Each structure stands twice: as structure tokens, then as C-alpha cells.
Structure 1
Amino acid sequence: MTANGEFVTATADGISVTLDLAVGHIRSLVVERGGREIAPLHRAPWIEEAQEPDTPAHLARLSGDFLCAPFGLSDIDGSPAHGWPANSSWKHLETRSIEGGSVARFELEKQVMGARVTKEFTVRDGHPFLYQRHLFSGGEGAVSVGLHMMVSLPQGGHLSFSPKRFIETPVDPQEADPARGRSLLAYPAHFQDLKKAPRADGGTANLVCYPFDRNYEDCVMMPEVPGRAFAWGAALRHREHDLVLSLKRPEDFPSTLLWMSNGGRYYSPWNSRHRGVLGLEEVRSYLLSGHKASIAPNPFSDQGIPTSIGLTADGEVDLRQATGIMPVPASWDRVTDVEVRGKTLAVLSDNDEFSVPYDPDFILHA
């Protein structure tokens, strides 16, 4: 473990993760494997620049991945968009050695609806995974939550997922004013095939190939199919010959949101320079409609898709996700499946597969 007062880094053999304590964002996640050092998570180009005083902290220091509570619009507790976990300080509680790795724990200095929030990173020797846990203790009421992972795809790539129930765009486009930005998809829209996403101009877009166009800002939400114990999402970067995996229990995060940010925002601090960024975000939220809409009856919850967590004075909510980073053979153009096989994770393509060390008990905990 290393620390400089503002950042804390936890390491194991072949992996390191650094947390920005000012906002709880992962500043870097680096995996060394096959003689390569791979660091595909995104860092905004403006994070070293001075920002306007009213710039939200999560935007000024936008990087890597971070917890949101609420996810999106905050219209109940007075916190900024994406909530205090993404915009305020975290305290480093400890970093301790475990057999074959280390665990770092952090506590949000503010509370979320009266709940204490703890962040826990586990890294293991030889495992190309960050095992990430967030624990809400106590509190009262309900709140939407999400993990805001961002992958840098400057040369593009291929996206694939475990089966989803449907795909939906929010009511409003990401950018509706042509003087401020540009969105290309139809809003709202409900469809089944990522390769045939409705566009506002009447055409369709193939969202499994990123980017699908130039200069746009768009997003879609994809709830999981019922009955699955394990779900995954993959972003394969063709030119870099590497892969980012997101692994989760649908019980924890019932939906995946794709935020496709490719130069479609013209105003500060974006200034049309935020390009090739994919938000691969695991969420428990009603689209981007905000805290109030996510805890009230809504079209997702009416279909049995959870859109918030419930907090009680003597209760705990334990949310887990694993991020994997690894090289892939140069011949690969997509991931077709991911399978847990004992203490390994098998990653499959159309005509090949490989396995990496994996802790099967972390996500599928009792």
C-alpha cells in the first residue's frame, strides 16, 4: 500500500488500484499480464485544469469508476448529481494483507440517507480482477445506486453482454440543444437488439461496435433477464488487444447502463474533447430519471426490476462487482461468453478461449 494524503494505492502481484480520496474515484487500475501493462480505464482530459467554482466535484475529477448514490439526478437529499459518494471525501480506514493479496477499506465522510458507506477493494496475486464491495450500514429510506465505470476506447472496440431483458433509452436525449451538443439515438425508445438501435433520423445504429458514429452523446439502459445468478459485460479493444470485463450479481445491480460519450458535448469542460469513452455502468436505478423517480413506482419496478435499495436503522446492504482487465489474442474480435469454472474464469470467443484466476465466492457470496 502507498499513500500521499490524496491518493491511496493497493497492490498485489500483477495488479494495482489507486483511489482519489477527494471524491472516491478510481484514478487508475493497472494489470500486468503477459509481459504487458494494461490500464484501459478512462481519465477526463481536464482533471489537472482549474474549473469553474460551480463545477460538480465528480465532473472536475472524473476518472475510472466510482459509486453513485443516488445514481444520476439528486432531487431529495441536497447532494450533487450522483450523490455524496461521487463528490465528497473518503477516509482511508486500513490496508491489510490477506493470504495472496491485500484489502483496502475506505469510509465516506458524509452519510447517504443516514447510512454509513464503506468501500472495500480486494486485489489478489495473479488475479487480473479488482474485487469491489460497497456496504451501506443503517440509514432510513431508499436510494438508487450505481457504479460508474468508464473505459477508454480511443481506437474503438466491440461490446458484448450476457442476455438482457430489453434495451431502452431515457425520455430525454443526453443533449437536446444543438448549440450545446448532439445525441443521435431516438428518445424514448424500447427495443431488443443492440445491433438495431433506433436513431432519431429514422435509421438504426449498431451499438455493439463502438463508436457507432462521430460526435455524439447517447445512453441506453439494459435490465437483466430474470433468474440469472451471474451477469457480465465486455469491452474488447481491437487495436490494443485487451479486454475489460464487468462481473456482477443481477440481484445487486439489476441493469447495465451504457453511456457513449464521443465528442458530443460542446460546452465546458467537455469542449468536444471527451471522445472514445464508454460508461459500462452497473446500476439499480430507473434510467437517468433521478432519486425520486427511482424510489417511487415506475415502469421498471412495475415489471419487477429493482430500481433502488432500502435502508433501515439496523440493516446492511452489501453490493459487489468485479472488474477484470486482461490481454486477448490478436485474432479476437469479440467475446461470446464468460463462464465460471471452479477457481478460474473462462473467456470465450467464436473459435478460442482462455482462463484466468478468479475468486468464485466474491460475487456469488451467501
Structure 2
Amino acid sequence: MSAQTTRRALAWAHGCLSVQSLGGMLGPVLFLLPDGRQVSPLQVAPWGNDPERVALPEILQELRGEWPCVPFGSDAGRNLPDGWTATGESFVGAGAPHGHGSNTHWDWRACDDGQITMECHYPDHHPIRRLRRRIVPDQGAAAIDLTLEVEARRPCRLPIGLHPTFRLSLRPGSVVIEPGRYDRVWSFPGDVEPGAALFAPDRPWSSLDEIETRDGFTVDATQVPLAADTEDLLQLSGIDGSVALHYRDEGFRARLSWQKEHFPGLLIWYSNRGRKAYPWNGRHVALGVEPIASAFDLGPAVCTDGNPIAASGIATAIAFEPGQTFVTHYRLSVEAAPIG
């Protein structure tokens, strides 16, 4: 790693949390439920103490929890089917996975008993100048309120998103995805991981609980982890700014809410033992539920072009102007829920 990861932690009456400088990532978080149980819903990748991780991209070295992605995805030169083009706005550095802020160390700012704040300065050539992040535990609840500010260096349009990643147990279907209202489900226009795709590619559906697979079967994609070893993505468009995960074996819900006018999509990342190479090694079982203004993670050149999701009326990029700070608020909380 180019610098030593540092961490800050906070404890309050309803839990404790940790934030790291690398990527500005939040996690782990331990919440205290009203009945006295402790639950920790965010994922921490299992290779965080492996000395070989220093050869990985920075975003993967200590992968965990939740962080902002500006821009979301990357311009990676993928092969896309008809209807998908990569001729929109791009720039030097657009190939960084999930943006510069996901691959560098953030600077600590005001940190006290009630908040952690940090900021990330982008390179001079980048259209974004700076990100600011504020993490505030709700002193009256098992919840955390988060704020992201984005300052532009020059006018630009970028896909952006948030990247909460949740742990899953190994039992298939032990967690149920409970999205708010949405208009449509889209499958990824290609292979997220060669040889590990599950869903029929480049297709729309009306409901997450009935998704066609590549071999012609239908699966309920709300029940996770999936039984198959897979690495795949689905995107919900026109979502109302809310999603919950019901941990049925453990009797709680993790709930995420955000400003739907900023993030009209929700990317669902099924990381289900599908990636076999290091550091994944076929052992990573987690679920990303990621509010986005983006077309999957296809990067600025696709997301600012006439892609099918944008053509359906759903924003896949946000316009930024110098001197106009973009501010968005979101919330992570937990609550008791029935077992089973």
C-alpha cells in the first residue's frame, strides 16, 4: 500500500463503528438492538490481513462496508451488445475502479464523540476537485446518518453512487432483499465475471422475484445468498429511495434510505463464490445494495451516452458545476424483525 491505513472509531448508546482512511470505507459497524442483541451487517472482506494484498488495486486491499464512488464504475473498454455504446464524456483517470476516492487515503477532519468527517482531494487533471464525507451516529437509535459533498473543478457529467456491501450467511435464502417501489429490473449487458454469470444478459423484467437465468430457468433474486456459485449484477430503476435486508435466521433488518432524486437506481451485486482468482478464492459471499445514478458500473463514457437505462427516462449521470457543491444525505439503520 502507498500509505498506512489509519482508522477512527466511535461508540454511542446504540452501537460502535469504525472508518478507515483507505477509500473512506465505513466498517465494521456493530449495532445494539433494543432487546440487547448485537448485530453487525456490513461485510469485511476475508483477506484484510493477508500480506499479499498489497499487490491488489487499492480498492480491494482492505475492502469493507460502505463508501462513496465518484465516479461510479470505470471506463474499462468492455465488449457491449447493440444499444450500448461508450462514446460519452470521459477523461484521464476514468479507468480507476469506482473513482479516485475509492483508491486513495482520505484526510481526517473534525472527529469527536459525535461525528467523523473526512475529505479526499482529487488530482489536478480530474474534473472533480474534492469529496467530503460526514458520518454521524443517531444518538437515539441504532442508525447512522451520512452526508456526501462533491465539489467540481470544471463542468462535467458523471455517474456516481454509494457502495454499501452487506455480509451474508452461507445458507441459501437466509436473507431476503426487500426493495421499495421500483419500475424495472435490468440485467447486466455481458459477463460480470467470465464463466460465472447467472442471469440472462441485457434483459428487463418487472419483478426481482422472477428473473430468468442463462439456462432458461427462473430464480427468485430476492433470496440470498443464491444457491449457485455466481458473480452477477441486477439494477433496479425508478426506485423510491429505500431497501431493507431481512436476516431471517438472525431476526433483524438492515435498512438503507437515500435521496431518490439523486440516486434513481439501485445496483445489486451478487458476490456469490463466483470469483475464483486471488483474493476472492471462491470464498466471498456478500451482497452489494448500491444507490446509483449510473448504468451498472460501466463508467462515464457509457453512462453519459444514450444507454438503454437512460433512454427509459432514468438518469445515469449527474451534472456538476464549479462553485455548486452537490450534497446528498443517506441513512443506515437496523431493527428487530421476525425469525423465519
TM class by shorter-chain length? 0.7 to 0.9
Equivalent position amino acid for 1:22 in 2: L
Query: What are the Cα deviations for residues 7-56 of structure 1, in whole angstroms up to 9, with x where unaligned?
Result: 01133221222111122111211111221111111111111112365521
The answer to whether 1:215 aligns with 2:262 is: no
In the other structure, the counterpart of 2:266 is 256
For the 8 Å contact 1:123–1:131, the answer to whether it is kept is yes
In the other structure, the counterpart of 2:111 is 95
Structure 1 residues 29 and 212, CA, compared in 2 at 3 Å: closer, same or farther?
Answer: same
In the other structure, the counterpart of 2:185 is 167
In the other structure, the counterpart of 1:147 is 162
Percent identity, aligned pairs only, is: 21
The answer to whether 1:51 aligns with 2:69 is: no
Equivalent position amino acid for 2:23 in 1: V
Q: In 2, Cα distance between the equivalents of 1:63 and 1:149?
A: 9
Q: In 1, Cα distance between the equivalents of 2:320 and 2:55?
A: 30
For the 8 Å contact 2:47–2:53, the answer to whether it is kept is no
For the 8 Å contact 1:88–1:109, the answer to whether it is kept is no
Q: In 2, Cα distance between the equivalents of 1:59 and 1:168?
A: 26
Structure 1 residues 53 and 123, CA, compared in 2 at 3 Å: closer, same or farther?
Answer: closer
Q: In 2, Cα distance between the equivalents of 1:190 and 1:216?
A: 19
Q: In 2, Cα distance between the equivalents of 1:5 and 1:266?
A: 27
- 1:264-303 alignment runs, 5 A limit: 264-275=274-285, 277-303=286-312
- 1:313-332 alignment runs, 5 A limit: 313-330=322-339
In the other structure, the counterpart of 1:355 is none
Aligned with 1:51: secondary structure? helix
Equivalent position amino acid for 1:168 in 2: W
Q: In 1, Cα distance between the equivalents of 2:5 and 2:216?
A: 52
Aligned with 1:235: secondary structure? strand
- 1:56-135 alignment runs, 5 A limit: 56-74=57-75, 76-78=91-93, 80-96=96-112, 102-110=114-122, 113-135=127-149
In the other structure, the counterpart of 1:241 is 251
Query: What are the Cα deviations for residues 309-349 of structure 1, in whole angstroms up to 9, with x where unaligned?
Result: 2221111111221111233233xx5xxxxxxxxxxxxxxxx
Q: In 2, Cα distance between the equivalents of 1:284 and 1:17?
A: 27
Equivalent position amino acid for 2:262 in 1: D
For the 8 Å contact 2:5–2:105, the answer to whether it is kept is no
Query: What are the Cα deviations for residues 258-291 of structure 1, in whole angstroms up to 9, with x where unaligned?
Result: 111111111111110112x111111110122212
| Higher RCO by CA contacts (8 Å cutoff, separation 6 or greater) | 2
Equivalent position amino acid for 1:145 in 2: I
Aligned with 2:140: secondary structure? coil
Structure in which a larger fraction of residues adopt strand: 1
Q: In 2, Cα distance between the equivalents of 1:327 and 1:85?
A: 34
For the 8 Å contact 1:91–1:108, the answer to whether it is kept is yes
In the other structure, the counterpart of 2:199 is 185
Q: In 2, Cα distance between the equivalents of 1:240 and 1:208?
A: 17
Q: CA deviation at 1:63?
A: 0.3
The answer to whether 1:307 aligns with 2:316 is: yes
Unaligned runs of at least 5 residues, structure 2 = 77-90
RMSD: 1.9
Q: CA deviation at 1:96?
A: 4.3
Q: CA deviation at 1:80?
A: 2.0
Q: In 2, Cα distance between the equivalents of 1:285 and 1:11?
A: 34
For the 8 Å contact 1:13–1:124, the answer to whether it is kept is no
Structure 1 residues 120 and 52, CA, compared in 2 at 3 Å: closer, same or farther?
Answer: closer
Structure 1 residues 22 and 52, CA, compared in 2 at 3 Å: closer, same or farther?
Answer: closer
Aligned with 2:43: secondary structure? coil
Structure 1 residues 5 and 219, CA, compared in 2 at 3 Å: closer, same or farther?
Answer: closer
Alignment size in residue pairs: 315
Q: In 2, Cα distance between the equivalents of 1:323 and 1:124?
A: 10
Equivalent position amino acid for 1:293 in 2: V
Structure 1 residues 52 and 13, CA, compared in 2 at 3 Å: closer, same or farther?
Answer: closer
For the 8 Å contact 1:309–1:317, the answer to whether it is kept is no
Q: In 2, Cα distance between the equivalents of 1:132 and 1:113?
A: 24
Q: In 1, Cα distance between the equivalents of 2:193 and 2:315?
A: 27
For the 8 Å contact 1:149–1:281, the answer to whether it is kept is yes
Unaligned runs of at least 5 residues, structure 1 = 334-366
For the 8 Å contact 1:170–1:288, the answer to whether it is kept is no
Q: In 2, Cα distance between the equivalents of 1:205 and 1:16?
A: 37
Q: CA deviation at 1:172?
A: 0.8
For the 8 Å contact 2:22–2:104, the answer to whether it is kept is yes
For the 8 Å contact 1:168–1:221, the answer to whether it is kept is yes
The answer to whether 1:204 aligns with 2:218 is: yes
In the other structure, the counterpart of 1:42 is 43
Aligned with 1:85: secondary structure? helix
Q: CA deviation at 1:71?
A: 1.1
